[in-house]
Amino acid sequence: MAAIDVQDLRKQFTVKHKAAGLGGSLRALWRPRLGVVEAVRGLSFRMEEGELLGFIGPNGAGKSTTIKMLTGILHPTSGEARVLGHVPWKERRQLAYHIGTVFGQRSQLWMHLPAVDTFQLFGRIYELDPAETRRRIAMLAEAFEIEHLLETPVRKLSLGQRMRCEVAASLLHRPKLILLDEPSIGLDPVAKQRIREMIKRMNAEEGVGVLLTSHDAGDIEALCKRVIIINHGQIVYEDRLSALKRRYLTEKDVSVRFVEPVTVDVAIPGTELVKAGGGGYGLKLKVDTARTNIAEVLERIGHLGEVEDITISDPALEEIIRTIYEQAALSGDGGSANPEASDAPAT
Amino acid sequence: MTTLRRIRVELSFLAALWKTNLLAALEYRASFISQVLGMLLNNAAFLAFWLLFFQRFPKVNGWGMRDMLGLYGMTATGFGLGVVLFGNALSLADIISQNGLDPYLSLPRPVLLHVLASGSRISGWGDILTGLLCMALLGPPDAAAWLRYGAAALVSMIVFISFLVLVASLTFWIGSASALSGSAINAILAFATYPMSIFDGSAKLILLTVIPAGFIGALPADFVRHYTGRGLAQLAAAALVFLALALIAFHRGLRHYESGGLATGMGG
């Protein structure tokens, strides 16, 4: 059974438009101008149980609206969705027993109390046996390395510590699926890494499916095997992360440091000179591997002078995603940049 | 799940929420004590004014200090219980307009019950104490009168909270009912502390329907003084009708809930 099955899901919001200034406000009072914003436009996708699926897109792309419809917080304008066999907006409470949610910009913990008090309250909310709640708190405290934080009022925790407690709280009732909306927002790189490791561990140990939304490509790269990219409420790309990289990694970044200063006076075919600096010691190139062989480029670089150090790297996922957004924008309809996307989920 | 088990589960959940609220309030001991004492003093000042008034005019339209103690005590108890047990009713309009229902909607409990009981106003303990003191001053202790007092206070609380939910639910349709909610709270509390006998027919009708202040102060206080089957039936019917209206309005409105991107959290 699919953990999530979404068909042509749409959500429109009515918004009031108003001209600037007092005159505009008075006119809006008398005759309001209403418009419709389409936050989600015909979204269809599927996620298998236990899968790690990344849902990525810029601010305002429709990620959070989609998550809110999948948890039953919002009613869609049209379309269908089943999450663990439930229609979220019709069977919200039944579904809530089987899913966990973390909204990075909103806390589920009681700020003035130690996290352990919220954990115990959650035990009652999910109707867990008190002994089972205690066992589960101990297990999650160990897994998320929060034993020493449990008795500190949440308001006194750092953002990273609080977020570990938030994710642990969302797993208290052994959900089959957790929906994480921007869980790493505002975290420093170390805290981000810890959260990612812990989510990965819970996926491996408990088989919990993870739908992760983020506008940080690093989250997706570290956690997910399959990725859906949305923009303007539509899917612009859907496939395995490895396929995404293969398809879009036709460029390599090459950084060279020479023993002696060199002069780059002849362009190397199939490459773009990004930077020649460092007093002639440094050189940065972008190589289009579809047009030129990387070995040839390296040979040409060798002719320029004696190489002290060389680094060949893939472009960051952010760059790939930016390319996909640009392609989608050029195509004008925001439609899929990958019509042949494989249906097979990552395992 | 049987209805009986469902009720037991929800009551157990409510008890856990109230305990959590109390724990949160006790995190700041000095603030807790000062707010309770402050409210007691505030209420004492109000009653002192009436004491001075009735010393000069012992009976006004058949009303004296004892009647005022009964009326004010009942209103204070109903209000106090409401804001201690369902404190988020006072800020429900803001919670709705600022997307604060999201965390409650993602948990498997009744949304309205969960959001209302997730907040508690500490000063309400001062109002409850005021009500108990007023009742004690009216003594001598009589078990039946205390029982009537408990039942009447429950009705007063239910009608008060239901009225606040009804007004706050307008937020789902008009976008923001915060100012309206504030005015409604002031209006209902002001009218609840005056005897019904000073109002004429149409004003009385308004105070039993549109602004149901009569069911928060005067009628429950009358019931504590003199038991009548009719009085009991009136109070029970009022509690059920206003509760039903509040539930219908909130759940109809919930279909129009448009959660945006503001950051909000749980608790009161």
Q: What is the CATH number of the domain that holds A75?
A: 3.40.50.300
* CA distance to partner chain A, nearest, from residue B153 (Å): 28
Give the tens place of pLDDT for each residue, B102-122.
999 999 999 999 999 999 999
Q: Give me the count of residues in chain A.
A: 347
pLDDT score of A79 more than 50: yes
A34-38, A145-149, B248-252: the lowest-pLDDT one: A34-38
In a shared domain, residues A201 and A273: no
Contact between A70 and B85 (Cβ < 8 Å): no
- Residue of chain B with shortest Cα separation from A60: B261
- Partner residue facing A73 (CB), from B13, B102, B264: B102
Q: Is residue A153 included in any domain, yes or no?
A: yes
pLDDT of residue B265: 52
CB within 8 Å: A112 and B27: yes
CB within 8 Å: A106 and B27: no
A29-33, A143-147, A186-190, B242-246: the lowest-pLDDT one: A29-33
In a shared domain, residues A167 and A271: no
Which of the four pLDDT bands, split at 50, 70 and 90, describes residue A343?
Answer: very low
Enclosing domain of residue A286 = 250-313
pLDDT score of B60 more than 90: no
Which of the four pLDDT bands, split at 50, 70 and 90, describes residue A187?
Answer: confident
* CA distance to partner chain A, nearest, from residue B103 (Å): 7
CATH number for position A296: 3.30.70
CB within 8 Å: B28 and A112: yes
pLDDT of residue B44: 96
Interface contact B23, partner A, CB < 8 A: yes
- Residue of chain B with shortest Cα separation from A75: B255
Interface contact B200, partner A, CB < 8 A: no
Q: Is residue A76 included in any domain, yes or no?
A: yes
pLDDT of residue A248: 74
- The H or E element spanning position A82 is strand A78-83
In a shared domain, residues A235 and A210: yes
Q: Is residue B175 included in any domain, yes or no?
A: yes
In a shared domain, residues A220 and A287: no
Q: Is residue A341 included in any domain, yes or no?
A: no
- For residues A81-97, give the mean pLDDT: 96
Residue that finishes a domain, picked among A226, A246, A266: A246
pLDDT of residue B1: 67
- d(C-alpha A218, C-alpha A16), whole Å: 36
Give the tens place of pLDDT for each residue, A314-324.
776 777 777 78
In a shared domain, residues A65 and A98: yes
Q: Is residue A58 included in any domain, yes or no?
A: yes
Beta strand pairing status for A78-83 and A2-17?
antiparallel
CB within 8 Å: A73 and B106: yes
Q: Is residue B153 included in any domain, yes or no?
A: yes
Q: Is residue B263 included in any domain, yes or no?
A: no
Q: Is residue B264 included in any domain, yes or no?
A: no
Give the tens place of pLDDT for each residue, B120-174.
999 999 999 999 999 999 877 689 999 999 999 999 999 999 999 999 999 999 8
Residues in chain A closer than 8 A to B105 (CB atoms):
71-73, 92
**What is chain B's mean pLDDT, rounded?**
91
pLDDT of residue A280: 79
Residues in chain B closer than 8 A to A109 (CB atoms):
265-266
CB within 8 Å: B266 and A121: no
In a shared domain, residues A178 and A236: yes
Q: Which candidate in B106, B122, B174 is best for mutational testing of the A interface (most A CBs within 10 A)? A: B106
pLDDT of residue A119: 96
Q: Is residue A182 included in any domain, yes or no?
A: yes
Q: Is residue A150 included in any domain, yes or no?
A: yes
- Partner residue facing A106 (CB), from B27, B103, B109: B103
* CA distance to partner chain A, nearest, from residue B170 (Å): 17
Which of the four pLDDT bands, split at 50, 70 and 90, describes residue A232?
Answer: confident
Beta strand pairing status for A52-56 and A226-231?
parallel
pLDDT score of A338 more than 50: no
Which of the four pLDDT bands, split at 50, 70 and 90, describes residue A251?
Answer: confident
Q: Is residue A338 included in any domain, yes or no?
A: no
**Furthest CA-CA distance within chain A:** 76
In a shared domain, residues A133 and A273: no
Enclosing domain of residue B179 = 3-254
pLDDT of residue A250: 73
Q: Is residue A107 included in any domain, yes or no?
A: yes
CB within 8 Å: A106 and B259: no
The total domain count for chain A is 2
- For residues A34-51, give the mean pLDDT: 92
The total domain count for chain B is 1
CB within 8 Å: A101 and B105: no
* CA distance to partner chain A, nearest, from residue B32 (Å): 14
- d(C-alpha A230, C-alpha A55), whole Å: 7
CB within 8 Å: B108 and A75: no
- Partner residue facing A112 (CB), from B24, B103, B259: B24
Residue that finishes a domain, picked among A217, A246, A275: A246
Q: Is residue B260 included in any domain, yes or no?
A: no
A299's tokens = 């040979």
Which of the four pLDDT bands, split at 50, 70 and 90, describes residue A339?
Answer: very low
- The H or E element spanning position A83 is strand A78-83
Contact between A271 and A285 (Cβ < 8 Å): yes
In a shared domain, residues A68 and A207: yes
Which of the four pLDDT bands, split at 50, 70 and 90, describes residue B184?
Answer: very high
Beta strand pairing status for A99-103 and A234-240?
unpaired
Distances (CA, A) of B93 to A188, B88, B121, B180: 35, 9, 16, 9
Is residue A238 helix, strand or coil?
strand
In a shared domain, residues A52 and A126: yes
Q: How many distinct helices (H) and strands (E) make up chain A?
A: 11, 13
Cα angle value B163/B168/B172 (rounded, 5°):
135
In a shared domain, residues A196 and A302: no
- For residues A243-262, give the mean pLDDT: 82
In a shared domain, residues A194 and A261: no
pLDDT score of B86 more than 90: yes
Q: Is residue B240 included in any domain, yes or no?
A: yes
In a shared domain, residues A181 and A254: no
Could you give the percent of chain A with pLDDT greater than 90? 46
- Residue of chain A with shortest Cα separation from B23: A113
CB within 8 Å: A74 and B12: no
Give the tens place of pLDDT for each residue, B10-40.
999 999 999 999 999 988 889 999 999 999 9
pLDDT score of A346 more than 50: no
Give the tens place of pLDDT for each residue, A277-309.
777 788 888 888 778 888 888 888 888 888 899
- β-partners of residue A275 are A284
* CA distance to partner chain A, nearest, from residue B117 (Å): 13
pLDDT of residue A334: 47
Which of the four pLDDT bands, split at 50, 70 and 90, describes residue A344?
Answer: very low
Q: Is residue B120 included in any domain, yes or no?
A: yes
Give the amino acid at A53. Answer: L
- d(C-alpha A178, C-alpha B54), whole Å: 64
* CA distance to partner chain A, nearest, from residue B220 (Å): 34
* CA distance to partner chain B, nearest, from residue A61 (Å): 12
